[in-house]
Structure 1
Amino acid sequence: MKRIFDLTLAIFASLILSLPAIFVALLVKLTSPGPVIYWSDRVGRNNKVFNMPKFRTMRIDTPAVATHLLTNPERFLTPIGSFLRKSSLDELPQLLSIIKGDMSFVGPRPALFNQDDLIILRKSYGVDQLVPGLTGWAQINGRDELPIVEKVKLDAEYLKNKSISLDIKIVFLTFLKVVRRDGITH
């Protein structure tokens, strides 16, 4: 049932958001050198690494680490990078990952391949068994403001209580968070 929900919503969203996605792609291309899409190695279900697409918000010389590990991450942002991140428009290409099955609409946000502390902690809570999501319980309960331990505890809470009705609630609350720009640091 969850896969049908994901596919239906991803195809519908792709159709509706195709024009804004084309506009964002043009803005990325016109405002900074490099590719429009950034392919990030992420950890998926059962700790399998997959390539996750995002509209590029950082310069091409940015180290491949979590943003919070960069000293002065703002200096690596492209001219429209901050806007894309705050509006979550950089996430639009992840609809392709949902259609492909690497991601779901709701689940823990996929870890970077080199976030060993997060990967180990998720495995200890069994969260690694979930398909990673575009959004999740941790995202609507703090997003970037939460320490890793708290995020994983919230992801474990989602694992324990997951259901289609909870997924619908999380998608709706995510929409509200994005519109209000709650919990975004960069």
Structure 2
Amino acid sequence: MKRFIDITLAVISVVFFMPLMAIAVISILISDRGPIFYKQIRVGLHGKEFHLFKFRTMCVDADKVGPYFTASGDKRITRIGKFLRKTSIDELPQILNVIKGDMSIVGPRPNVPQQKQYYSDFDWQLRHSVRPGITGLAQSTLRSLATEEERLNLDLSYVKNNSILGDFKIIVMTVKQVFFKGGN
């Protein structure tokens, strides 16, 4: 049932957000040379790695000149990238990951493989017993303000208590975060 809901919401989202995604593509092309999309290896269901898609918000080869994470005021982020991140528009290409089956609309955000070192083996396996999501409990409540420990606790809480109704609540909370609390 969850997969059916994911596909349905993803297809509706593609249609709904197509004009916004077209504007993002044009803005990236005008403001900065280089690819429109950024793809990164992430860890999905049962530890299977996949390529996560985003609109590129950083300078070309940013991952070669800095860490896998960004910090406040990161100089690698482009001008248009700041806006795309603040509004979470950079995440819209992940709808394709949902359609492909790599991700769900709701679930823990997918980790990069390097983050495994921060988990016990049990927590890592538990966290990856569900598909990662475009949004999750941590993103809908604390956004980027969550510490690693808070994010882990919220992700594990989601895995242990996930439900269709809970997913719809997280979607509503995420919309409130993005539109009424200033985005990311």
Residue 121 and residue 59 in structure 1: after superposition, are their counterparts in 2 closer, same or farther (change >3 A)?
A: farther
Contact 1:43 1:50 in 2 (8 A): yes
1:141 deviation in Å? Answer: 1.9
- Number of the residue aligned with 2:38: 38
- Number of the residue aligned with 2:141: 141
Segments ≥4 residues shifted beyond 4 Å: none
Residue 67 and residue 127 in structure 1: after superposition, are their counterparts in 2 closer, same or farther (change >3 A)?
A: same
1:45 deviation in Å? Answer: 1.1
1:128 deviation in Å? Answer: 1.4
- Distance in 2 of aligned mates of 1:183 and 1:14: 20
Aligned residues: 180
Report the aligned-residue RMSD: 1.7
- With 138-147 and 76-85 compared, the bigger mean Cα shift is at 138-147
Q: Which structure 2 segments of 5+ residues have no match?
A: none
Q: Deviations over 1:30-54 (max 9, x none)?
A: 1011100001111111121100110
TM-score (normalizing by structure 1): 0.90
1:67 deviation in Å? Answer: 1.2
Identity of aligned residues (%): 38
- Distance in 1 of aligned mates of 2:182 and 2:117: 25
Q: Deviations over 1:96-134 (max 9, x none)?
A: 00011100000000112322334x348426111110000
- Number of the residue aligned with 2:26: 26
TM-score (normalizing by structure 2): 0.91
Contact 1:145 1:183 in 2 (8 A): no
- Number of the residue aligned with 1:129: 129
Partner SS state of residue 114, structure 2: coil
